[in-house]
């Protein structure tokens, strides 16, 4: 097992290029099984979750050519739509195979997924949506078993206790593309990753309207073809580097970035003291003169502040003078990183779904342990500004969603390396 070793106190400067969105790539790659023709997906990030999904496609019988950021999938060899636990235990995104496998083969047997430990993330809305399309769904020894001779269109409401479901929307939308008749998905997720998936499906021949709105309409077709598609930039990776630049009083140009995908974070980072200028698909991020200002942040479904940037924003708040508050409305238990940040000298108190952060003049390097993907990034950011040496253990979490994080940070001037524990 590896760890990251960081010597803090270096100002980040330079250019960092953002890769494709992990959270768009996974359902798009899963959607390739809806067709019997080959598809080519470009701008796919080289991260562990993508490697896992490629292994799943190969296990199913697809022929896959994966070269750097290009993945070609020929799904004609798939015959048995079964995903065992050993394949899906490390990645929640594997549940997005349920809809396309069921739609194409009339049956699917998918193990309950794994992934980061950030609190309960039930798949009840996935099952509700699939049933609304006429599938018979049962739970059998840890597997979701779904059957339908042919799905039929229907009205699907995907509202949950904490808002809409991104992967649930993706699953139902993919299933509905081959269903008989029209499907209306209400309270659909509006995230850019869902829109990107929908655009890929439309290239395959799907009939979809309303992408980016809470009401998505799908008219089923008999057959989908292969398609070529380039994945949108990863807004969470971009946001992480934007926060890092501001924390270190740096001057970083984030290349291949769209500010419109991160309007809520841009607003809060600017309120705290960041200066961001956009030009030709890049964003230059600096810090305004004077002290940073505390802010209050609430995570919400898109276009609200992303829950996947909550931990990184909290690390930033730790070095902002005054009292900042961050409230988690998507995953109320997503606060495991608080104890590790406090180990580095942060002043964070948890009150229900809100974390109250008392900004410190400095953090102190310390050995810390990552608990999930985004918490890992937060600990790295804290290490960049801490005095002395920080060691972040369990960095396999980072490998799931950040492509070449160490190399990119080193190119910006950070003192960071990867070592064996």
Query: Is 396 in the same domain as 280?
Result: yes
- What's the mean pLDDT when you consider all of the chain? 94
| Domain count for the chain | 2
| pLDDT at residue 9 is higher than 80 | yes
Q: What pLDDT does 117 receive?
A: 45
Statement to judge: residues 183 and 290 lie in one domain: no
pLDDT at 119 over 90: no
- pLDDT classification of 208: cutoffs 50, 70, 90: very high
User: Which string of DSSP letters, residue by residue, matches 237-260?
Assistant: HHHHHHHHHHHTT-EEEEES--GG
CA distance 339 to 344: 9
pLDDT at 183: 98
Tens-digit pLDDT profile for residues 272-315: 999 999 999 999 999 999 999 999 999 999 999 999 999 999 99
Strand order in the sheet with 82-83: 82-83, 107-111, 143-147, 136-140
Q: Are residues 89 and 143 in the same domain?
A: yes
User: In angstroms, rounded to a whole number, what is the distance separating the alpha carbons of residues 352 and 282?
Assistant: 38
Shared domain check, 287 and 350: yes
- pLDDT at residue 120 tops 50: no
Residues 256 and 193 in one domain: no
pLDDT at residue number 123: 86
Pairing mode, if any, of strands 13-17 and 215-219? unpaired
Does residue 104 sit in the same domain as residue 192?
yes
Domain termination site, one of 195, 230, 265: 230
- Percent of the chain predicted with pLDDT > 70: 98
- Where among 209, 230, 251 does a domain terminate? 230
| Residue 321 shares a structural domain with residue 345 | yes
Nearest to 222 by CA among 150, 131, 155: 150
For 316, half-sphere exposure in the C-beta direction (CA atoms, 13 angstrom radius) is 33
| Judgement on whether residues 288 and 307 belong to the same structural domain of the protein | yes
- Burial grade of 86 (CB within 10 A; 0-12, 13-18, 19 or more): exposed
Which residue bears the tokens 């809100």? 354
Q: What CATH number has the domain bearing residue 105? A: 3.65.10.10
Burial of 293-322, coded b for 16+ CB within 10 Å and e otherwise, reads ebbebbbbbbebbbbbbbbbbbbbbbbbee
pLDDT in tens, 154-196: 999 998 877 789 999 999 999 999 999 999 999 999 999 999 9
Same domain, 85 and 203: yes
Query: Which one of 96, 116, 190, 318 is the catalytic residue?
Result: 116
| 114 band by pLDDT with thresholds 50, 70 and 90 | low
Tens of pLDDT, residues 312-325? 999 999 999 999 99
Shared-domain flag, residues 239 and 114: no
Q: What is the largest CA-CA distance in the chain?
A: 65
Give pairs for 71-74: CB < 8 Å, separation 24+. 71/29, 71/40, 71/41, 71/44, 72/38, 72/39, 72/40, 72/41, 73/29, 73/32, 73/33, 73/38, 73/39, 73/40, 73/41, 74/37, 74/38
pLDDT at 118: 42
86 plus 110 within the same structural domain:
yes
Domain shared by 349 and 263, yes or no: yes
Q: Which two tokens stand for residue 223?
A: 């057959």
What range defines the domain where residue 249 resides? Answer: 2-19+233-420
Using the structure block, give the residue that is written with the tokens 């990030």.
45
Domain closes at, from 181, 199, 230: 230
- Cβ–Cβ < 8 Å for 226, 39: yes
116 belongs to the catalytic site: yes
Confidence of residue 262 (pLDDT cuts 50, 70, 90): very high
Going 355 to 358 to 362 to 364, the CA torsion angle's sign is negative
pTM here is 0.95
């Amino acid at each position: 097992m590896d760890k990251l070793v960081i010597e803090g106190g270096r100002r980040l400067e330079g250019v960092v290029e953002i890769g494709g969105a992990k959270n768009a790539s996974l359902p798009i790659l899963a959607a390739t099984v809806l067709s019997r023709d080959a598809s080519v997906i470009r701008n796919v990030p080289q991260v562990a979750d993508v490697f896992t999904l490629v292994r799943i496609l190969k296990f199913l019988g697809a022929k896959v050519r994966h070269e750097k950021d290009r993945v070609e999938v020929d799904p004609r060899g798939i015959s048995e739509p079964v995903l065992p636990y050993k394949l899906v235990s490390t990645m929640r995104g594997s549940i997005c195979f349920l809809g396309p496998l069921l739609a194409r083969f009339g049956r699917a047997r998918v193990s309950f997924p794994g992934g980061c430990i950030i609190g309960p993330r039930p798949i009840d809305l996935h099952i509700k949506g699939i049933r609304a399309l006429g599938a018979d769904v049962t739970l059998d020894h840890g597997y979701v078993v779904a059957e339908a001779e042919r799905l039929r269109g229907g009205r699907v409401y995907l509202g949950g206790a904490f808002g809409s479901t991104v992967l649930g929307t993706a699953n139902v939308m993919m299933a509905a593309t081959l269903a008989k008749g029209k499907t209306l998905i209400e309270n659909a997720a509006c995230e850019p990753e869902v829109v990107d998936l929908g655009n890929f499906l439309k290239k395959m021949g799907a009939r979809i309207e309303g992408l980016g709105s809470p009401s998505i309409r799908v008219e089923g077709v008999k057959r989908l073809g292969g398609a070529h598609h380039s994945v949108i930039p990863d807004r969470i990776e971009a946001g992480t580097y934007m926060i890092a630049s501001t924390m270190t009083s740096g001057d970083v140009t984030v290349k291949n970035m769209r500010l419109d995908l991160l309007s809520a974070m841009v607003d809060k980072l600017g309120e705290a003291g960041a200066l961001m200028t956009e030009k030709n698909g890049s964003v230059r991020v600096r810090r305004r003169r004077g002290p940073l200002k505390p802010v209050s942040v609430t995570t919400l479904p898109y276009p609200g502040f992303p829950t996947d940037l909550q931990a990184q924003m909290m690390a930033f708040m730790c070095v902002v003078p005054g009292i900042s508050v961050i409230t988690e409305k998507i995953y109320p238990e997503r606060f495991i990183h608080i104890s590790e940040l406090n180990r580095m000298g942060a002043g964070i108190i948890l009150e229900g779904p809100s974390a109250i952060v008392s900004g410190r003049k400095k953090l102190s390097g310390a050995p810390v342990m990552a608990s999930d993907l985004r918490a890992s990034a937060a600990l790295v950011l804290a290490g960049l500004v801490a005095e002395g040496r920080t060691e972040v253990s369990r960095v396999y979490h980072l490998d799931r969603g950040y492509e070449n994080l160490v190399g990119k940070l080193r190119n910006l001037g950070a003192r960071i390396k990867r070592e064996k524990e």
